[in-house]
A and B are shown apart, each in its own frame.
Chain A
């Protein structure tokens, strides 16, 4: 069974641009969560989606948004990028909420 796939693996953007990150969950998993990891703040929860519905949102500004498609694939978008958005963005999937989560390798986003 293929694991969680995140694309792209690395991304370099400049301030003010926007970016879209993609996550394909494990086949059959309907729950997808996104996390941000930075050296200063550690791991922080961004969003959780289940069956195309956002169930939870972390404490991030409205520039961070996401969605889930009918095939459970998910995307997150960050608009008007700031230097502080430089981070490793991780996606995780599970069969349903409150079950073990399987993480992707992450997308490392660098803002210049």
Chain B
């Protein structure tokens, strides 16, 4: 069993739809990262959260530490949101060593 699992692996949505990507992890963590990767490779850090909820524009990330589960929501999706979304957790302690999920490939169609 992978330490970090994401679902779904692939997601196609119509512009304007509300999108949810899920992440479950099996290790104890201090925080969880959500990353976005566009075609061509560049990775952008969207959120780092350790409890509750964070919001940035149309993106919302939530985490439930007890259930070891996090969700990334996109409201009013747009074709420019098309990317791979990756959740990652620290390996433990004060470290930048991350364990990554396999990613969710999102395609938002106009």
Contacts and interface: CB of A to CB of B under 8 A. Distances in A.
B41 A101 contact: no
A88 B42 CA distance: 10
Interface in B49-108: 86, 88, 90-91, 93-100, 102-103
Interface string A68-101: 0000000000000000000010101010111111
A98 B33 CA distance: 10
Nearest to B88: A43
A106 interface: yes
B44 interface: yes
Contacts of A101: 33, 45, 96, 98
Summarize A's interface: helix, strand, loop or mixed.
strand
B86 A43 contact: yes
Given A103-B42, A105-B42, A45 B91 contact: yes
Most buried by A among B30, B90, B91, B95: B95
A97 B48 CA distance: 13
B27 interface: no
Nearest to B30: A98
B94 A98 contact: yes
A31 interface: yes
A43 B87 CA distance: 11
A94 B41 contact: no
Contacts of B45: 100-103
Given A90-B43, A106-B42, A97 B94 contact: yes
Q: 5 tightest A-B contacts by CB? A: A103-B43, A43-B100, A33-B96, A56-B97, A106-B41
Interface of B: 30-31, 33, 35, 40-45, 48, 86, 88, 90-91, 93-100, 102-103
Given A42-B103, A100-B33, A101-B98, 7 more contacts: A42-B100, A88-B41, A98-B94, A98-B95, A101-B45, A101-B96, A108-B41
8 contacts: A45-B91, A56-B95, A58-B97, A94-B96, A97-B95, A98-B31, A102-B45, A106-B42
